[in-house]
Amino acid sequence: MRARSSTALRLAAVSALAWTVCVGFAQAQPAPPVHEIPQSQTAEHRDNIEHLTALSSHPGKVGEAARRAVALFKKHDAREAEYIMPPLSLLPYLVDGKITPDMQWAVVMADRVRADRELIFVEHTEMIAVLNELQFAGQEAHDADAIDFARGAATDALNDVEILEPTAILIGDLLRAKLSAKP
The count of other CB atoms within 10 Å of the CB of residue 81 is 17
72 & 126 share domain:
yes
**According to the model, what pLDDT value does residue 18 have?**
41
- pLDDT, tens only, 97-118: 999 999 999 999 999 999 999 9
- Residue 65 belongs to what domain range? 35-181
pTM for the whole structure: 0.77
**According to the model, what pLDDT value does residue 36 have?**
87
**According to the model, what pLDDT value does residue 183 have?**
59
- pLDDT, tens only, 56-81: 999 999 999 999 999 999 999 999 99
25 & 46 share domain:
no
Average pLDDT over residues 68-95: 95
41 & 27 share domain:
no
How many domains is the chain partitioned into structurally? Answer: 2
14 & 69 share domain:
no
